[in-house]
Amino acid sequence: MGISPIGLINTFNRTQGLLLQSAQRLATGQRINAGRDDPAGLIASENLEAQLAALEAESRALERNDAVVSTADAALAQVGDMLTEGEALAVAAANTGAMSDAERDALQLEMDSINQSVDRTLRSASFGGVPLFNGDVSIPAGGDSFDLDAMTASSLGETDIDGTVYSQSDTSNGEALAINGDRPGDAQSVIGASIEQIATLRGRIGAFQKNEIGARRAGVLAEIENVSAANSIIRDTDYAAETAKQARLQTLAASSGAVLALANQNNALPLIGGING
């Protein structure tokens, strides 16, 4: 018993539909282009893409936070360099026996300039227009965060000397610990405390940047790679398999078309014979 013309037409149309689907998969690079292609696979893929979007957003946030921390560290490095110069000035000013008052006053002018620069650097350090050392910046990473405290020359190097707390700004001209005054040793103590405070803060920032931001970002990037690979397996076209499938479908379509044409021709012969008769 042969295949009916309607059956041949259905086979031919079904093959053409599969060929169109195969061509679309090869053109887009995606195995799933509509829900009907693989409903369960589409749901799984959409869930993975949502997870991927969240991971990529976290990665961008961590990258930004890393830049914030680097900017803060760079500003602190400048402050540390300036304070080191200030410490050298205080040491030189303490050598009263080999230096005139005019020379010590000149050193004090340099010390004033350093204190002003330290204060200006701390006040102007910012990222994206947001001041970094005004006490309002908290940098998150994973489940942890790092708070940047408010910081100016007046809050640096706070040292208790004989019951009185002095800071970096007290080494400026006219202040209690001005280096051209009579307490250069105490001035050195405060400047040394300022240097240690900046170095300690930079160390804490560096540890947070490496162990929190860096470690979390590495983990997120690994997750992105794994989720992307899983989604690719579900959604992307296997070009080798799809190309082979397309070749089979093309052969089937050609065969179906030929059989359908022959069937149409055979069905037409009795009609022609009836007309001639």
Contact 149, 134 (CB under 8 A): no
Q: Which of 22-36, 125-139, 221-235 has the lowest mean pLDDT?
A: 22-36
CA distance 42 to 197: 56
Q: How far is CA 76 from CA 122, 191, 242, in A?
A: 8, 15, 58
Which residues have a Cβ under 8 Å from the Cβ of 6 and sit 6 or more positions away? Answer: none
Q: How confident is the model over 144-196, as pLDDT tens digits?
A: 899 999 999 999 999 999 999 999 999 999 999 999 998 989 999 999 999 99
- Nearest by Cα to 146 from 207, 188, 196: 207
Mean pLDDT of the chain: 84
Give the pLDDT score at 276: 44
CA distance 18 to 248: 11
Give the pLDDT score at 274: 47
User: Averaged over 203-230, what is the pLDDT?
Assistant: 95
Alpha carbons within 13 A on the beta-carbon side of 72 = 31
CATH of domain 64-233: 1.20.1330.10
Q: Which residue has the higher pLDDT, 259 or 122?
A: 122
Structure-token match 């990037």, residue found: 221
CA distance 203 to 253: 71
**What number of H helices and E strands is found in the chain?**
6, 6
CA distance 201 to 79: 12
User: Averaged over 256-262, what is the pLDDT?
Assistant: 63
Which residues have a Cβ under 8 Å from the Cβ of 109 and sit 6 or more positions away? Answer: 173
Residue percentage of the chain with pLDDT more than 70: 72
Give the pLDDT score at 262: 65
Could you tell me how many residues make up the chain?
Answer: 277
Helix axes 184-208, 39-94, angle to 10 degrees: 170
CA distance 78 to 122: 10
